[in-house]
Amino acid sequence: MQTIIEPFRIKSVEPLRKTTPGERAAFLEKAGYNLFLIDADNILIDLLTDSGTSAMSTEQWAAMMRGDESYAGSRSYFRLKTAVEDLTAFRHVIPTHQGRAAERILFTCLCKPGDVVPNNTHFDTTRANVEFTGAKALDLPLAESADTQSQGPFKGGMDVDALERLIAEHGRERIPLIMLTVTNNSGGGQPVSMANIEAVSAVARRHQIPFYLDCCRFAENAWFIREREPGYQNWSPKRIARRMFSFADGCTFSAKKDAFANIGGLLCTNDPALAQQEKNLLILTEGFPTYGGLAGRDLEAIAIGLEEILDPDYLEYRIASTRYLGRHIADHGVPIVEPPGGHAIYIDAGRFLPHIPKHEFPAQSLAVELYRHAGIRSVEIGSVMFGEHARNELLRLAIPRRVYTQSHIDYVVEAILEIEARKSELRGYVITEQPEFLRHFSCRFRPL
Among 214, 249, 298, 338, binds ligand PLP (CB under 6 A): 214
Number of Cβ within 10 Å of residue 333's Cβ equals 11
Query: How many other C-beta atoms are found inside a 10 Å radius of the C-beta of residue 406?
Result: 16
Q: Which is nearer to ligand PLP, 53 or 365 (CB)?
A: 53
Complex with ligand PLP: residue 90 or 352, whichever CB lies closer: 90
Least distance (Å) between residue 96 CB and ligand PLP: 9
Q: Which of 100, 279, 396, 408 binds ligand PLP (CB under 6 A)?
A: 100
The region of 69-77, 96-104, 154-162, 312-320 touching ligand PLP under the rule CB under 6 A is 96-104
51 part of the interface to ligand PLP, by CB under 6 A: yes
| 281 CB neighbour count, 10 Å cutoff | 17
Q: How far is the CB of 335 from ligand PLP (least distance, A)?
A: 24
At 336, which amino acid appears? Answer: I
Taking Cα atoms as reference points, which of 46, 40, 1, 91 lies closest to residue 374? 46
Q: How far is the CB of 98 from ligand PLP (least distance, A)?
A: 3
Which residue from 119, 254, 269, 290 is in contact with ligand PLP, where contact means CB under 6 A? 254
Do residues 74 and 296 lie in contact, with contact meaning Cβ atoms separated by under 8 Å? yes
The C-alpha atoms of residue 176 and residue 143 are separated, in whole angstroms, by: 25
Distance separating alpha carbons of residues 233 and 223, to the nearest angstrom: 10
127 scored as a contact of ligand PLP (CB under 6 A): no
CA atoms 376, 377, 382, 383: torsion sign: positive
127 versus 423: smaller Cβ distance to ligand PLP: 127
When CB distances to ligand PLP are compared, the closest residue is 99
The nearest distance, CB 256 to ligand PLP, in angstroms, is: 5
8 Å CB contact between 381 and 363: yes
Count the neighbouring beta carbons within 10 Å of the beta carbon of residue 261: 26
98 counts as binding ligand PLP under rule CB under 6 A: yes
CB of 428 to ligand PLP, least distance (A): 29
Contact call for residues 152 and 133 (beta carbons, < 8 A): no
Output the smallest distance, CB 403 to ligand PLP, in A: 17
123 binds ligand PLP (CB under 6 A): yes
Q: Is 216 in the site for ligand PLP (CB under 6 A)?
A: yes
Residue 378 in contact with ligand PLP, rule: CB under 6 A:
no
Q: Does 104 participate in binding ligand PLP (rule CB under 6 A)?
A: no
**Choice from 19, 42, 108, 125 touching ligand PLP (CB under 6 A):** 125
Cβ distance to ligand PLP smaller for residue 97 or 328:
97
Stretch that binds ligand PLP, among 1-9, 123-131, 286-294, 382-390 (CB under 6 A): 123-131
192 touches 180 (CB < 8 A): yes
In this chain, which of 60, 76, 126, 133 binds ligand PLP, going by CB under 6 A? 126
Tell me whether residue 49 or residue 193 sits nearer to ligand PLP (CB atom): 49
What is 139-181 written as a DSSP string?
Answer: E-B-GGGG-TT---TTTT-B-HHHHHHHHHHH-GGG---EEEE
How crowded is residue 14: how many other Cβ atoms within 10 Å of its Cβ? Answer: 7
> Least CB distance from residue 255 to ligand PLP, whole Å?
7
Listed residue (171, 170, 161, 177) closest to 214, CA to CA: 177
Contact in structure between 120 and 157 (CB atoms under 8 Å): yes
DSSP 337-361: SSSP-SSEEEEEHHHH-TTS-GGG-
Q: Is 305 in the site for ligand PLP (CB under 6 A)?
A: no
Cα–Cα dist 353/370, whole Å: 14
Among 185, 196, 201, 365, binds ligand PLP (CB under 6 A): 185
Tell me if 377 contacts ligand PLP by CB under 6 A: no
- Answer for which of 67, 95, 99, 400 binds ligand PLP (CB under 6 A) is 99
The CB-of-360 to ligand PLP minimum distance in angstroms stands at 29
Give the binding-site size for ligand PLP (rule: CB under 6 A): 15
Q: Name 206's Cβ contacts closer than 8 Å, sequence gap at least 6.
A: none
Question: CB 53 → ligand PLP: shortest distance, Å?
Answer: 11
CA 250 to chain centre: 19
- Bridge partner list, 138: 118
Q: Site residues (CB under 6 A) for ligand PLP?
A: 51, 98-100, 123, 125-126, 181, 185, 214, 216, 254, 256-257, 265
